[in-house]
Amino acid sequence: MAEAGRRLHRIWRSLTFRALIVLALFIALPAILYITFRQADLDRQSLLLESIRVKGLTVGRVLEERLQRADQIPLFRLGEELARFQTDGVSLRLLFRPHEGPADAGFLYVASAPPVMPSDLEYEKQHLADAGVLAQLERSCSGDLPLALRVDRAGGQAELITSITPVRTARGCWALVISSDLAASAEQRLGKPYWQAPEVQIAAAIYLIFAAIVLVIAFDLSRGLLRFAATARAVAERRIEGRFAQRNRIPELEPVANAFDRMEDSLRSTASELRLAAEESVHAFKTPLGTIRQAIVPLRSRVAGDDQRSQQALMAIDGALERLDSLVRATRHLDDAVADRLDPPRERVDLAALIEDVADVHASDATARNVTLRVAADMEASAPLGGRLIAAALDQVIENALSYAPAGSVVTVTLHRGTRRVLIVVADNGPGVDPVLLPHIFDRHVSFRDRSRHDGALPNFGLGLWLAKRNMEAVGGTIEAANRPGGGFIVTLGLPLG
């Protein structure tokens, strides 16, 4: 539970997670607001439309009796009859389809109030035909037809056909079309999609501009942080000249850049002091060790050969001196390793030459152990930095392989180059490591050797492979160990390709 809680807390604190939440809100908010306001607009339009319909149907009911007698009224007088009932904002159109004549003759416009252009009448008639209203009238010619059909005319004018009152007479089917002028701003939107409303389009434009500004700011901030991180890596690795503060382009990150510069200065100063202290310590120890060695020379000549006790004392002194020499070198290696981790060397490394040089150092030790040290590193490959750290890690791995390799066996060091990484593989025919203990092979002070042996450059304190791992990590590399299927041990050092 505690682990799950920490994981959830980490996710919540993640800027990426919060950015995704903001993005989800940006996507969901317009849809929610659109649905809510669209429903409110539909309700408002429904009320407005109902009032317009009521007005049109009232006029239709009044004229229905007149239409029953339309067969007796001359056609040229029908326009005058309609004009008597026409009011401001309401238009009346009278259509007629005679019983006699072709079946597909359709409806004809007879009169209108107020008078309109014939082209507008045909335009309106086409709208009624496209909406299927005329076809329905032709089939039944009965019953009021409430509508909400918008007709946009030339010049920006618009009307809303609210009802059609059909009346069947002896001569044919009369149809009174009632429409209202959409002159008011509220009425102008009747029959139009909600998204075409000016306020909706303005709100959408403002939202899009706001979203674009937020996205630009987020993108610029993200790019600035990534650029800052890349600059930090480049400055720390000395691939570019300058300091964090000089490379930073975001004013708000200036305190961070200055803090990074101070931290880098402190790390490099500490590394330099460690190297100087390690060098001074070695020189400080060499003087008393040399004095002790010189002091026992005359003692050695004065001790008789049959004085076993004195001979054993001299041998103990020699062993202690060798031990102290090993401890001094171990301390120097540890201090250099710590310093190199704080301020790794940044020179480009020829890995083939580095492997040959390290193998040459161990050639005499391999010969003394009757072990063949074989190197296969004839290809060109380079690592971007940390030659001394890589050499120290490889030195520890080869020394470890030689110490376990049986007499007459072969230790191989092979260089493999890939597209992005290069691998240095050290393999021996030794006993390997118990699979249960294998995960701890790179832990500090872990050793599976006999601790009474001191034949390596470092005392057998279980530091060799631990230092190798630290060195590889310091240069962006990896180190892995495994038992060979046919017996023996294999260690693989992985490095980014330079």
Read off the CATH number of the domain in which 442 is found: 3.30.565.10
pLDDT at 451: 47
Token digits of residue 142? 């009965």
Same domain, 238 and 303: no
Range list of H helices, 72-195: 75-83, 118-130, 133-140, 185-188
pLDDT range class, residue 452, cuts 50, 70, 90: very low
Residue 410: pLDDT above 80?
A: yes
End residue of a domain, out of 342, 358, 381: 342
| Per-residue confidence band for 455, with pLDDT thresholds at 50, 70 and 90 | very low
Q: What is the pLDDT, as a whole number, of residue 1?
A: 63
Based on the fold, state whether residues 187 and 300 are members of the same structural domain: no
In a domain, 25, yes or no: no
Q: The domain spanning residue 132 has which CATH number?
A: 3.30.450.20
Dist CA 359 CA 291 (whole Å): 34
Alpha-carbon gap, residue 364 to 368, rounded angstroms: 6
Identify the CA nearest to 362 among candidates 349, 353, 372. Answer: 372
Q: Is residue 229 part of a domain?
A: no
pLDDT of 302 above 80: no
Q: Which structural domain range is residue 395 located in?
A: 349-496
> How many structural domains is the chain composed of?
4
Domain shared by 329 and 400, yes or no: no
On the question of pLDDT at 427 being above 90, the answer is yes
Question: In the predicted model, what is the mean pLDDT of the chain?
Answer: 76
Q: What is the mean pLDDT of residues 215-224?
A: 79
> Of residues 262 and 67, which shows the higher confidence score?
262
Q: Which of 224-238, 372-386, 454-468 has the highest mean pLDDT?
A: 372-386
Q: 446 or 221: which carries more pLDDT confidence?
A: 221
Q: How confident is the model at residue 428 (pLDDT cuts 50, 70, 90)?
A: very high
Please determine, for residue 159, whether its predicted confidence score (pLDDT) is greater than 90: no
Q: List phi, psi (to 5°) of 145.
A: -115, 100
Q: Model confidence at 490, in pLDDT bands (50, 70, 90)?
A: very high
- Is residue 171 domain-shared with residue 93, that is, in the same domain? yes
pLDDT confidence of residue 460: 54
Mean pLDDT of 462-486: 84
Q: Are residues 258 and 385 in the same domain?
A: no
Both tokens assigned to 335: 């201090």
Q: 4 in a domain, yes or no? A: no
- Residue 163: the pLDDT is 75
Distance CA(91)–CA(163), nearest Å, equals 11
Give pLDDT, residue 459: 47
Q: Return the closest-CA partner of residue 244 out of 215, 264, 224.
A: 264
Express each pLDDT in 67-119 by its tens digit: 777 666 776 677 777 787 777 777 788 888 887 766 566 778 888 888 877 77
- The mean per-residue pLDDT over the stretch 225-236 comes to 73
Within 13 A of 193's CA, how many CA atoms are on the CB side? 5
Gap between the Cα atoms of 29 and 35, Å rounded: 10
3 vs 262: CA distance, rounded Å: 35
Q: For the residues 218-228, what does the mean pLDDT come to?
A: 78
Residue 7, in any domain of the structure: no
Distance CA 78, CA 110 (A): 8
Q: Give the model's pLDDT for residue 398.
A: 92
Tens-place pLDDT, residues 14-40: 767 777 787 787 788 777 877 777 777
Q: Is the pTM of this model over 0.85?
A: no
Which strands sit side by side in the sheet containing 108-113, from one edge to the other?
A: 108-113, 90-98, 172-181, 158-168, 145-152
Residues 306 and 373 in one domain: no
Largest CA distance in the chain: 161
Residue type for 114, please?
Answer: P
- Per-residue confidence at 493, pLDDT binned at 50, 70, 90? very high
Is 298 part of any domain? yes
Residue 224 within a domain: no
Residue 400 DSSP SS3: helix
pLDDT at 384: 64
Q: What is the token pair recorded at 463? A: 């530091």
Q: Residue 214: inside a domain, yes or no?
A: no
Question: CB within 8 A of 402, min separation 6: which ones?
Answer: 362, 365, 366, 369, 371, 373, 411, 428
Helix (H) or strand (E) holding 336: helix 308-342
- 185 shares its domain with 302: no
Say how far residue 143 (Cα) sits from the centre of its chain.
Answer: 64
Helices 308-342 and 387-404 cross at an angle (nearest 10°) of 140
SS3 for 165? strand
pLDDT above 70 for 237: no
- The answer to whether residue 190 sits within a structural domain is yes
Question: Which amino acid is located at 401 in the chain?
Answer: A
260 with 309, same domain: the answer is: no
Tell me how far apart the alpha carbons of residues 219 and 211 are, in angstroms, rounded to a whole number. 12
| Whether residue 387 is found in the same domain as residue 476 | yes
Average pLDDT estimate for 290-307: 75
Give the list of residues 6+ apart from residue 488 with CB closer than 8 angstroms, or none. Answer: 427, 428, 429, 430, 432
Say if residues 376 and 356 touch (Cβ distance below 8 Å).
no
Over residues 388-398, the mean pLDDT reads 87
Last residue of a domain, one of 282, 314, 342: 342
Please tell me whether residues 314 and 361 are part of one structural domain.
no
pLDDT grade, residue 185 (50/70/90)?
very low
Share of the chain above pLDDT 70, in %: 76
Please give the structure tokens belonging to residue 485. 């299927």
Phi, psi of 149 (to 5 degrees): -100, 120
Question: Which of residues 138, 168, 196 is at a domain's end?
Answer: 196
Do both 161 and 180 map to the same domain? yes
Burial class (CB in 10 A: 0-12, 13-18, 19+), 334: middle
Q: What is the pLDDT of residue 54?
A: 72
Q: Are residue 154 and residue 283 in the same domain, yes or no?
A: no
